[in-house]
Structure 1
């Protein structure tokens, strides 16, 4: 747990929902809705790094993008440092984005291949009126040094770098406007395993040195355990468990969390958990199961699980789980 975490929340999310309409027919009417994020609430303290985990299709990336209003929320409240982002105009949100940035998953797709690194890093500075035209290249060079790249990288194009180096450029761009909060959307999943540790260590050092607050979206629970202060587990658009990393990994409560953690390799064979294999695939968010959304794959499910939407209940200090069988 980082010593710099403040009990005062920087981000407060209440009853957030994000649905996408599926249109069809000659008139393009909405035929169905994809409930990507379905009534989630959580807080992130200043200086805290929170991991958001779950299988593909659980709604992690949509949740992260909705927090920054890269996707407009269907309903709910997103309060950042006391300001409800859902009420801001386009200009107001643009000003707020100086304090909120994102690191994208694919470091190649997120960088303009026609621009040199100099332009990539000075664009956000110009957009937000930071510095002057003469000193912005020096600011860009400082950003590169901060992420472990040299000044000579300024006049190179993205394709001239390795995947890990491109992600470092993406991190430098996110840091350019000196944000308070960063959404890191699976920033190492597209990288070789040998490079992942370098990028994670870089992010860890930056969070400590700059006092950053971060939502770290990932599917690699091994990375999350060592990097994040707290973990939120999502399944089919809902939060099913949340707690401090050491508590959740030592005593997972929800059957879904237990299944996820059972697949994480352990360096010491004696500490290995019995593997829990889930049946079937994650259901469609167009028509999620009634009651508990995990019941169709849960080894503990009973008839009452189809009737009750389990709330997050306290199972320990700062540890909450949404399961009527285990709470």
Structure 2
């Protein structure tokens, strides 16, 4: 079988998280007996690693599988197949009781800061639950820990007896971050943590996450669809489309020299503060296809502005186009068997 998973420049000894051939299919049932008739291929053979202390951005359109990747890594959804190696242990098939020892080390910051908080509980209780579940501290000193955590995220300890509806969106997200950090995790999945916030507040929350990452030596998977936000906080960036990875590169490399046509289209839509700088917008035609019946060959080919006939026949193999920069495209990163494409076929 042709190897279509992305290699990684991360040495095994440096990797906190190593995901290999991860798949997550959602069955669709039908008929009188409710048998599985087909599957939604939300994540289809995804591989990547994250080194300790690194922030990796995961970007793509809605429906690309970003959130499913994050939730499956944390075992909030069961993987269909693949390996999730966390700090040297494969957690992909652990039972729920066995996973409990890893829950403390792996936390999530949710997209919606209001829906992720119980509206009937005061902040004292919301944050106290996290400590109690993991048996952190004694009941006597937990309140001191809660106050200290609120102060770490820029909130006052005087807020302990308020309910979630008494806070702004940005403050609620800070509470969500405090809850994730209260158990002193090693790894955080930040699932579009600023997409529900006003633009004026987004930068504050991103800066807060960046400061906390340095202060607590956190490793983070930062999921977003806004490439301008990802550029600010990430060390490397993964670009996903329809359940597959299109490109992986160090942040500076990706933004200065994108290789895959999908990445180029995404970056062309990022606003440029320099109004004198010319940027040709790449408009993708049509909508993202259904993950129930993805296109053959390269899943991006139905919307790709440079697709050719061979794109329907071959699932592209990731090619290293520059150091630590991998792309899966037979046009811009020609495959060994397809490297002889006619010059007139190239853009």
Measured against aligned partners, the alpha-carbon deviations of 1:277-327 in whole angstroms (never above 9, x if no partner) come to 001000000000000000000011111101100011101110000001011
Q: Distance in 2 between matches of 1:180 and 1:103?
A: 14
Measured against aligned partners, the alpha-carbon deviations of 1:171-229 in whole angstroms (never above 9, x if no partner) come to 00000100000000000000011111110110010011111000000000001111111
Unpaired segments ≥5 residues, structure 2? 1-10, 334-347
Residue of structure 1 in register with 2:129 after alignment = 123
Residue of structure 2 in register with 1:246 after alignment = 252
Partner SS for 1:258: helix
Q: Does residue 223 of the first structure (1) align with residue 229 of the second (2)?
A: yes
Give the TM-score taking structure 2 as reference length: 0.91
Residue of structure 1 in register with 2:295 after alignment = 289
| Contact 1:262-1:274 within 8 A present in 2 as well | yes
Residue of structure 2 in register with 1:82 after alignment = 88
Residue of structure 1 in register with 2:102 after alignment = 96
Q: Distance in 2 between matches of 1:219 and 1:32?
A: 28
- Give the 5 Å matches for 1:1-327: 8-327=14-333
Partner SS for 1:269: coil
Residue of structure 1 in register with 2:342 after alignment = none
Q: Distance in 1 between matches of 2:12 and 2:295?
A: 38
Q: Distance in 2 between matches of 1:34 and 1:75?
A: 14
Q: Distance in 2 between matches of 1:90 and 1:257?
A: 38
Q: Distance in 2 between matches of 1:285 and 1:88?
A: 27
Give the TM-score taking structure 1 as reference length: 0.97
| Contact 1:265-1:272 within 8 A present in 2 as well | no
Cα distance, 1:64 vs structure 2: 0.3
Q: Distance in 1 between matches of 2:110 and 2:156?
A: 22
Cα distance, 1:268 vs structure 2: 1.5
Cα distance, 1:25 vs structure 2: 2.3
Q: Which shows bigger deviation, 21-30 or 203-212?
A: 21-30
Q: Distance in 2 between matches of 1:296 and 1:303?
A: 11
* Count of aligned residue pairs for this structure pair: 323
Unpaired segments ≥5 residues, structure 1? none
Q: Distance in 1 between matches of 2:176 and 2:12?
A: 27
